[in-house]
Chain A
Amino acid sequence: MIYLYRTLSMLAYVLLAPLVGGFLAGLDRKLSARMQGRMGPPLLQPFYDLAKLFKKQVLAVSRYQFMMVASFLAMVIGTGALFFGGFDLLLVFFVLTTACMFFVLAATVTNSPYAELGAQRELIQMLSYEPMILLTAVGFYMANGSFRGVDVFYTDEPAIVRLPGVFLGLLFILTIKFRKSPFDLSTSHHAHQELVKGVTTEFSGVLMGMVELAHWYENVFLLGLVALFFVSSAWWSGLLAVGAVLLVWFLEVLIDNTSARVKWNHMLRSAWIVTAVCGGGNLLVLEIIRMLF
């Protein structure tokens, strides 16, 4: 029975994540506009944008560009599908890293100086958040005794009870992953960036469309990761998870609108400090408790 549920959940992710992701992106733009005292675009604007991108002419600057972007999209979908299928978290994170590598490659094959600089910054971003991502997997292992995502449904209490520090650390690096200010160094959805559009500078038409789509898939997966902290065997934990996800999304939009972009060394330093203090500290305490009792 559980296998049926896992397959269904994977299928649901592949089919519904673009809808949820696009809707969240629309909510983001609407919320941002409201925070700035504007009306903002229609809620469905991201879908209009995507439809347009798929219809526009593609000016490919390299013959490998399409392959790289398509691989990026496929790997991101794979990451989310494995995650929502309840597979091993380590496997999920490794596939995610591979996906990001394809994104970086897609930018570097264009030979555009802006895209290349964006790609370098993307690598630095990965360097900043990877340790925390790995600590998250380790944290789940220490809390639930298993790396498998599906095992959270067999626990008596949500993982957040044992992993508050890991959760805070993850929250910090999520801003990097969502490409929100102050950590939107490699590419940004705001106008006027010193790197034109960074990694995505040379993507036109359907290429850009696929990148957008991949980001929607990625966002839903990341929010799923947030939800994982709140799910347990109790039925009400689902409601708790949905509430937490919405709150995190709101916080991300708020941070995006109230902070300015920082330099890469500041991002790297702060991300690693937070990882060590919040994530590392939390795991240390868990280990000490385990040894004492």
Chain B
Amino acid sequence: MPKFSKSPWVMHYDGSSCNGCDIEVLASLTPLYDIERFGVVNTGDPRHADILLITGGINYHNESVVRQIFEQMPEPKVVVAVGICACSGGVFRDCYNIKGGVDTTIPVDVYVPGCAARPESIIDGLVQALDVLEKKSAASAALSEGESNAQQS
């Protein structure tokens, strides 16, 4: 059986980013960096996604949106915060409308620092996310096995 992490489908959501990080995320798809080498597909559908990639901090308007997208994704799933804004709020931290980093709203697995985060570090973060994805899928497989054993006995 091929590994779960060989097919990471990524959903990209722009929180309150200045668009700097978004450009870099898209740059990772271009011929120079080409993250499709790792099987990454950029999908717009949370139901198909394995990795939620968020740029920019969370504000009071999109808080519920981010939570909903996260809930619509099937398990196992991983969240990657790209850019210092997504990690902690960054330069917008003290703005009246900003709640803070992504982890104020949903659990984050990988933090990618930088302003803007370079494509190299985004790819680095995604590769780390693959490890987390693999661990989570192993854990959920063990869990469902335990459940079916419990049902049988």
Contact of B48 among A44, A47, A192, A197 (CB under 8 A): A197
Contacts of A201 in B (CB 8 A): 45, 47
A208 within 8 A of B: yes
Given A42-B39, A57-B74, A204-B74: A52 touches B45 (CB 8 Å cut-off): no
Contact of A56 among B41, B43, B44, B74 (CB under 8 A): B74
Which residue of chain A has its CB nearest to the CB of B34?
A: A38
A182 within 8 A of B: no
Contacts of A58 in B (CB 8 A): 74
Indicate if the CB atoms of A45 and B39 lie closer than 8 Å.
yes
Which residue of chain B has its CB nearest to the CB of A202?
A: B47
A41 within 8 A of B: yes
B135 shortest CB reach to chain A, Å: 14
Contacts of B38 in A (CB 8 A): 41
Interface size on B, residues (CB 8 A): 29
A39 within 8 A of B: yes
Interface size class of A (residues with CB under 8 A): 20 to 34
Indicate if the CB atoms of A47 and B2 lie closer than 8 Å.
yes
Contacts of B4 in A (CB 8 A): 52, 55
A186 shortest CB reach to chain B, Å: 14
Contacts of B45 in A (CB 8 A): 196-197, 200-201
Chain B proximity mask over A197-236: 1 for CB below 8 Å, otherwise 0: 1001111110010000000000000000000000000000
A280 shortest CB reach to chain B, Å: 39
Q: Which chain A residues numbered 49 to 108 have a C-beta less than 8 Å away from chain B?
A: 49, 51-52, 55-59
Indicate if the CB atoms of A204 and B44 lie closer than 8 Å.
no
B121 within 8 A of A: no
B50 shortest CB reach to chain A, Å: 7
Chain A proximity mask over B36-72: 1 for CB below 8 Å, otherwise 0: 1111011111011010000000000000000000001
Contact of A52 among B7, B34, B42, B75 (CB under 8 A): B7
Indicate if the CB atoms of B37 and A56 lie closer than 8 Å.
no
Q: How far is the CA of A58 from the CA of B31 in the complex (A)?
A: 34
Which residue of chain B has its CB nearest to the CB of A37?
A: B31
A273 within 8 A of B: no
With A38-B34, A49-B9, A57-B140 known, 7 other A-B pairs at CB within 8 A are A37-B31, A48-B6, A49-B7, A52-B6, A200-B48, A203-B47, A208-B47
Identify 16 residue pairs between A and B in the complex whose beta-carbon atoms are under 8 Å apart, listed by A's number: A39-B34, A40-B37, A41-B37, A41-B38, A44-B2, A45-B39, A47-B2, A49-B41, A52-B2, A56-B74, A59-B72, A193-B44, A196-B45, A197-B44, A200-B45, A208-B47
Interface residues of B (CB under 8 A from A): 1-4, 6-7, 9, 30-31, 34, 36-39, 41-45, 47-48, 50, 72, 74-76, 137, 140-141
Closest 8 CB pairs of A and B: A57-B74, A191-B42, A48-B6, A52-B7, A37-B31, A204-B47, A57-B75, A197-B45
